[in-house]
Amino acid sequence: LPEDDQLPNAHDVDMQPDLLLAYLSDKNESFTLKQIGETLRSLSKEHLWRNDIRSRVLRSPELVSLSSDQEPRFTTRSYIHSQKHLMSNAQVLANDDNFAVDPAMLTQAIAKKNRALGIVNASLSDEQKTALDHMLSDRALACVVGTAGSGKSTMLDVARTAWESVGIKVYGASLAGKAADGLEQASGIRSRTLAAIEISWEHGFDPITPCSVVVIDEVGMVGTRQLSRVVAKLTEL
């Protein structure tokens, strides 16, 4: 069967309509009747077939109707379960306060980067330093949001230097291969797709250890189910 984040073909949906719900709920926290119809139209031009599948989808026990003042919205039971699982495990990591890096190591990493940037009359901004303090605090989970061009890659290069200076192995991950390549080139963090990392875990290769950091770039692009699996794996360490 296709992965949740891949659009299933018409034959598979005909055999198992819930595949359509899995696809829609992986792409969206909630969805509408219009989105169901648009997705069905992308699978087939057969009007009767689309109506049949739509009716079967709307009768599915997997479908959950959400209250809405305007257009009715829906989600799925499996999405709600994955979301709760993700939030629960993320909270476990956020409460883990045994992951601090010696502030002196961060200071040295910042000074090293500023020396390199000095060649072009630049230096790390106060915002970048604040983000680094947050990332390298004693919490096992940290989130940083930055717009394009705000210097996230430069900041991650400094973080990598500080982590590696105390023996922490740093892994980079992204949803797409191109993004993973960009992360590696810009920050020096060896990076792969999340799918490749999950396959490695399944086969016991390149295991993440308790003394490791996983940097997930563009995490907002990652589906809830996949992110829930990854966070659950990290929580187990």
96-116 pLDDT, tens digit per residue, is 988 888 999 999 999 999 999
Better-scored residue on pLDDT, 148 or 155: 155
Tokens found for residue 215: 């940097």
Query: At a CB cut-off of 8 Å and minimum separation 6, what does 33 contact?
Result: 71, 72, 74
Q: How many CB atoms lie within 10 A of CB 83?
A: 17
pLDDT at 229: 94
Q: To which residue do tokens 């910042």 refer?
A: 110
Question: Residue 5 has what pLDDT?
Answer: 60
pLDDT of residue 147: 84
- Band (pLDDT 50/70/90 cuts) for residue 2 is very low
Give the tens place of pLDDT for each residue, 157-212: 999 999 999 999 999 999 999 999 999 999 999 999 999 999 998 898 877 888 89
Round to whole Å and give the CA distance between 165 and 232.
Answer: 27
State the average pLDDT over residues 209-224.
Answer: 90
Residue 89 makes CB contacts below 8 A (sequence gap 6+) with 228, 231, 232, 234, 235
pLDDT mean over 40-60: 96
Helix (H) or strand (E) segment spanning residue 228: helix 224-236
Q: What is the pLDDT of residue 146?
A: 85
Under 8 Å between Cβ of 181 and 139: no
Q: What percent of the chain has pLDDT over 90?
A: 80
Choose among 57, 64, 56: nearest CA to 84.
64
Q: Tokens 């119809």 identify what position? A: 37
Mean pLDDT over the full length of the chain = 92
Secondary-structure breakdown of the chain: helix, strand, coil percentages, each rounded to the nearest 5: 55, 10, 30
- Is the confidence at residue 79, as pLDDT, over 90? yes
Q: Is the pTM of this model over 0.75?
A: yes
Query: What's the confidence (pLDDT) of residue 1?
Result: 38
157's tokens? 């290069």
